[in-house]
């Protein structure tokens, strides 16, 4: 059995990869951070399609048995362009569909807030998907484009992060629950919770996606039956911040490999 492939534009997807590893410690995770092109949230649809084509080809060459798109911007594009993106018969789990289903299961009425990148919010995929399943839910969406690059640069848990987060959330207004529509955002979860005085439930992807992956692996008899070896980490452009964040999640023994897929 091959590894579980997980990819994102940067460090955000590490939150999903760690969630998967916590639930499935005997599985090997292969992570690719497309740091040369981050953030995906301000890229065109055609550019993201090109990135996805290269990444899925790489995941196939690495014999991944399952691929997780740990990026909301990429997931929104993939959901709309599946017919032109070859996945080589690999099963694919995106970060949007499971979160939408979980939200609709847990909330029957009220206002659901969504914050995410421009690409994710402009696609309106959360609003459309939630409304299709429960038209009674009100969905308020807000693009928060400064958050992902701020997190990539290590501006978290400080006054700068708090000021940016507070300004964005004040624009969103009152909500009954908030979807963190970017896998970077769990890294600033405590600041977001503090803004709402810990009274507004937050919905983020890592645990939800990890549970989805575990269910798929078990249902389709894809569990690793022998020692898979160490997890693997690749980036398209090496950054010290990425290395430091990856080590915080997975330990100091990880080795970061630089790989430029389009060359």
Residue 64 appears among annotated catalytic residues: no
182, 205, 228 — which closes off a domain?
A: 205
Give yes or no: residues 126 and 176 share one domain: yes
Q: Answer yes or no: do 107 and 235 share one domain.
A: no
List the catalytic residue out of 70, 100, 182, 203.
Answer: 182
Residues 186 and 102 occupy one common structural domain: yes
Residue 221 inside a domain? The answer is yes
CA distance 165 to 186: 13
Q: Is the pLDDT of residue 164 over 80?
A: yes
The residue annotated as part of the active site, out of 69, 71, 130, 169, is: 71
Largest CA distance in the chain: 51
Residue 253: which pLDDT band, with cuts at 50, 70 and 90? confident
State mean pLDDT over 158-171: 95
Do 199 and 220 lie in one domain? The reply is no
Task: Report pLDDT for 249.
Answer: 86
- Percent above pLDDT 90 for the chain: 79
Each residue of 90-140: pLDDT tens digit? 999 999 999 999 999 999 999 999 999 999 999 999 999 999 999 999 999
Residues 142 and 237 in one domain: no
Q: Which domain holds residue 174?
A: 97-205
263 domain-assigned: no
In this predicted structure, what is the pLDDT of residue 255? 86
One domain for residues 211 and 84: yes
Q: 3-class secondary structure for 23-70?
A: HCCCCCEEEEECHHHCCHHHCCHHHHHHHHHHHHHHHHHCCCCEEEEC
Catalytic residue list contains 182: yes
Q: In this predicted structure, what is the pLDDT of residue 254?
A: 82
Checking if the pLDDT of 263 tops 60, the result is no
Beta strand pairing call for 232-235 and 29-33: parallel
Nearest to 42 by CA among 127, 152, 160: 152
Q: What DSSP state is assigned to residue 71?
A: -
CA distance 107 to 52: 32
Residues 51 and 109 in one domain: no
Query: Is the CB of residue 143 less than 8 Å from the CB of residue 72?
Result: no
In a domain, 141, yes or no: yes
**pLDDT tens digits, residue range 19-70?**
999 999 999 999 999 999 988 998 999 999 999 999 999 999 999 999 999 9
For residue 140, give Cα distances in angstroms to 100, 119, 124, 163.
14, 16, 10, 21
Contacts of residue 242, defined as CB under 8 A and 6 or more positions apart, other chains included, come to: 10, 11, 33, 35, 152, 235, 256
Q: What is the CATH number of the domain that holds 228?
A: 3.40.50.1860
Residues 217 and 178 in one domain: no
Looking at the structure, do residues 222 and 234 belong to the same domain, yes or no? yes
pLDDT in tens, 56-81: 999 999 999 999 999 999 999 998 88
- My answer on whether 111 and 198 are in the same domain is yes
What is the arithmetic mean of pLDDT over 182-199?
94
The count of domains in the chain is 2
Q: Write down the pTM of the prediction.
A: 0.93
The H-or-E segment that residue 233 falls in is strand 232-235
Let me know whether 129 and 185 are in one domain: yes
- Is there a single domain that holds both residue 102 and residue 183? yes
Is residue 244 in a domain?
A: yes
Q: How many CA atoms lie within 13 A of 205 on its CB side?
A: 32
What percentage of the chain carries pLDDT values higher than 70?
100
């Amino acid at each position: 059995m091959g590894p579980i492939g997980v990819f994102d534009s940067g460090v955000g997807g590490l939150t999903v990869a760690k969630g998967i590893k916590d639930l499935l410690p005997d599985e090997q995770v292969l992570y690719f951070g497309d740091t040369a092109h981050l953030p995906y949230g301000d890229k065109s649809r055609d550019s993201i399609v090109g990135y996805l084509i290269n990444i899925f080809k790489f995941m196939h060459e690495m014999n991944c048995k399952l691929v997780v798109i740990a990026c909301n911007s990429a997931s929104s594009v993939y959901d709309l362009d599946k017919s032109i993106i070859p996945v080589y018969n690999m099963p694919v789990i995106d970060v949007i569909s499971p979160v939408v289903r979980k939200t609709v299961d847990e909330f029957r009425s009220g206002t659901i807030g969504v914050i995410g990148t421009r690409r994710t919010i402009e696609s309106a995929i959360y609003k459309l998907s939630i409304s299709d399943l429960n038209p009674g839910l009100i969905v308020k969406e807000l693009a928060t484009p400064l958050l992902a690059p701020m997190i990539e640069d290590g501006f978290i848990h400080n006054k700068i992060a708090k000021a940016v987060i507070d300004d964005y959330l004040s624009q969103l207004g009152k909500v009954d629950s908030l979807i963190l529509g970017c896998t970077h955002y769990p890294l600033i979860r405590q600041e977001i919770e503090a803004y709402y005085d810990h009274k507004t439930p937050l919905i983020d992807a890592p645990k939800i996606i990890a549970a989805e992956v575990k269910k798929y692996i078990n249902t389709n008899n894809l569990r690793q039956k022998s020692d898979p070896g160490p997890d693997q980490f690749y980036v398209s452009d090496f950054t010290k911040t990425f290395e430091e964040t990856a080590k915080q999640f997975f330990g100091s023994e990880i080795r970061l490999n630089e790989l430029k897929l389009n060359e």
